[in-house]
Structure formats: structure tokens, C-alpha cells
Amino acid sequence: MMTGMAALLVSCTGNSSGKADRSNASEEAFSAMETAGSKLFLLAGTYTSSEGGKGIYLYRFDADTGSSHSIGMAEVDNPSYLTLSPDEKFIYAVSENDESSSAVHAFSFDKRSGKMDLLNSRLVNSSSPCYIAIDGKGRNVHTANYGGGTITSFQVKEDGTLTSAVSTMLFKGSGPDSVRQKSAHLHSVRYSPDGRYLFAADLGSDKLYRISVNDTPFEGQPGLLENSLKEFVTPPGAGPRHFDFHPDGGRYLYLLGELSGQVIVYDYAFGELTQKQVIAADTTGARGSADVHVSPDGRFLYASNRLQADGIAIFSIDPDDGTLTKAGYQLTGKHPRNFVITPNGKFLLAASRDDNKIEVFRIDTETGLLTDTRQDIRLNKPVCLKFAGTVRSD
């Protein structure tokens, strides 16, 4: 166990206004908060370098009002991306470091007490893991390793702990940008909605990869069938970063190019992709587009942009063919690296890393446009946001 990288929960580190909560807050107080109308947990990963955060922060978030309350924090080094097990009993986080210290960590997550306890840590054996995904059965975990140009896979044991890495897939390639695309840079990995494939975006080679899933791996056997690898070539210089599937059975896939600032729209069916549209999310040429998500009702798509005119591009989605039409643009704080939408579609939360805050925007469900609620959550260097459901008290 890599105890130097992750530590115990630290309770009640702050609230939405930045003021300190009582460090001895009891489980009874936590339960009282739970019955006051709050509905979600918000988890926030941070960069922990100089003047950064200290790990993973936990908040209570009210999906009806947009208000939040700090609950606690688990110390871990540079948890730049998180995911939860399907039953939300475990949290898995990367430590985005160099090859010698990059790791993935498993935490138990007790929703009644709000505690996140470290279970174990495993080396990634590659540099700069920046994304982590888990399958729908909670058996396999994969990291996209930007610096190493690899995908590392782990198995999950019955108690939620991780095995040592069972495989590391190395990718090769380059793109037209001689600075940003000298080599492969895996930036995200996600399962297809049917769980049959893992897709991976490679910023360095302008490719989106598809890998078939091994449904019944034995202990120590990879959960991916490496010889099934298929590549889809994106427009030159796109720099694929993040992507999302449409909630209507995954009929469409939306891929955001970090370098081109464009959203590439695909028809998706049975593992195959057919490109049908390319539309600009960033019109400044900043080459810093970051994250992309479809609203839960499938009517709108949002894409974040950094470095210039930092903000979120808003698109309406054609219900007949999934194509995009520009609907608006919302300015945000500096460097909105990641954002998340509440399951009820009422709020969008943006992690503005360089302004040290999470901004809470209300979504107009008719137009898709955003309104700043001024209910910022103050936090040093937030870079990843995830929601989890709550356990209601009887």
C-alpha cells in the first residue's frame, strides 16, 4: 500500500462560502443535513501542487436549489480524475504524476457517515494518468495515461481493492502539431453504452480507438481484447480529448478536439462510427478545449474552452439526427477543465481551476442557456467533478 500518497479522511474542511465548518461535526449533524432536502454528493478532485488542494473533497449538493455544504476530504496526491463503482460503494482516483509515482487508488465510500477511507493503491507504470473508467459490473478499471501514451488495466476484487496492473497497452503515432502531437497522448477512456467496447481518445495521433471487452476474464487476465483494436481517424490536428454518448441508447457520439476546438459528431451503432458533422466550440483558436457532456434529457450539448474567452459553448441537439446548432456561450472562471451536470438537468457545475472555485450555473431547460447562481464553492485547484446519490434516513 502506498501510504505516502493517500491518507485518512479529514472532516469538514470548508463550505460553499469558504468558511470553516466545525471539525468535530458528528454523524447526527450529518444526518440532519441529509434530511434538510439535500439529494446528492459532489466529489471534487484537485491538483495538490503548491497552493493547490489536498485531495478529494466531498460536499452535499442540493440539486433543487444549487446550494452546497462541505463534508470532508481524503488526502491523495493529484487526484485529477475520479470514478465511482456502479453501486457507488467505492471511489477510484488517479494520481497524475511522473512514471515513478503515478498511481490509482481505491477508497471505500460510506454514504451514511460521509467517510472516504483508503483501501489500497497501485502503480500505473506509466506517466500522467489523467482519466479513469470502470465497467458496468465494477470488475475492471482502466486509466488513460497522457504522458506514457498507454492504457493501464486493473481488476477489482470483491472488497473493492485493486489488483496490480494486469496489462498496459502502448500506442504509437503522431499528428501535424509538432509540439503537441509528437507522440501518442491517451486522454480519456469510456465504455460504450452497451458495455461491449472501450473507446479511447488519443490527442497525439488524432485517433479514437475501439477495443472489445473480455466479459469473463480470469484473475490476472486483462479485461480488454488487445487484438481487437480498431482505430477511427479524426480530422488532422483535432487533438481528441473527451467524448460523450447521447443518452438515447448512445445513438450518437460527440468528440471534442482540444487543439481544433471542434466538436465532431458521429452516428454510433454496434461499435461502428460514421462522422456526420464538425462544428466549432472555440472560435478564438486558443487550442485549449477540455470537456464535453450531453444534458440528461439529450436536448443540449456543452463543451468547455480554456486559455482564451474561458467558458462553455452551448449547442442544441436535433432530435431527428443528433446534429448540433449553436445556442449560446457562457463565460466562466479561468481554466474550466472539467464540468458536470446534475442528473435532474437543472444545474451545471464548472471546475474553474485557476480561479480556485467551482461555479454553479442554473440550466434553462427550454433554451439550454446558463445563468450563474453566484453559489460558488471555493476550493483550490479543482479539476474533476462527480456526483453520487445519497442514502436517505428513515
pLDDT 10s digits, 49-81? 888 999 999 999 999 999 999 999 999 999 999
Q: What percent of the chain lies above the pLDDT cut of 70?
A: 89
Residue 159's identity, in one-letter code, is D
| pLDDT score for 277 | 98
| pLDDT score for 7 | 43
Domain of 202?
6-389
Residue 244's SS3 state is strand
Q: Is 134 a domain residue?
A: yes
Cα dihedral 326, 330, 334, 337, rounded to 10, equals: -50
| pLDDT score for 20 | 33
Write down the mean pLDDT value for the chain: 91
C-beta separation of 308 from 290 below 8 A = no
| pLDDT score for 19 | 34
- In the structure, what pLDDT confidence band is assigned to residue 390 with cuts at 50, 70 and 90? confident
Q: Is 190 a domain residue?
A: yes
Q: Which of 69, 59, 74 is nearest to 19 (CA)?
A: 69
- In the structure, what pLDDT confidence band is assigned to residue 222 with cuts at 50, 70 and 90? confident
Q: Is 82 a domain residue?
A: yes
Task: Please give the Cα distance from 347 to 360 (Å, whole number).
Answer: 7
Q: Is 63 a domain residue?
A: yes
Q: Is 1 a domain residue?
A: no
| pLDDT score for 218 | 75
Task: Please give the Cα distance from 80 to 131 (Å, whole number).
Answer: 8
Q: Is 310 a domain residue?
A: yes
Q: Is 348 a domain residue?
A: yes
| pLDDT score for 38 | 52
| pLDDT score for 21 | 37
Instruction: Report DSSP letters for 336-363, one per residue.
Output: EEEEEE-TTSSEEEEEEGGGTEEEEEEE
Q: Which residues pair with 312 in a beta bridge?
A: 304, 330
Task: Please give the Cα distance from 56 to 61 (Å, whole number).
Answer: 15
Q: Is residue 376 scored above 70 in pLDDT?
A: yes
Cell of 326: 449553436
Task: Please give the Cα distance from 163 to 274 (Å, whole number).
Answer: 37
Stated pTM of the model: 0.91
Q: Is 394 a domain residue?
A: no
Q: How many structural domains are present in the chain?
A: 1
- In the structure, what pLDDT confidence band is assigned to residue 392 with cuts at 50, 70 and 90? low
Q: Is residue 224 scored above 70 in pLDDT?
A: yes
376: domain CATH number?
A: 2.130.10.10
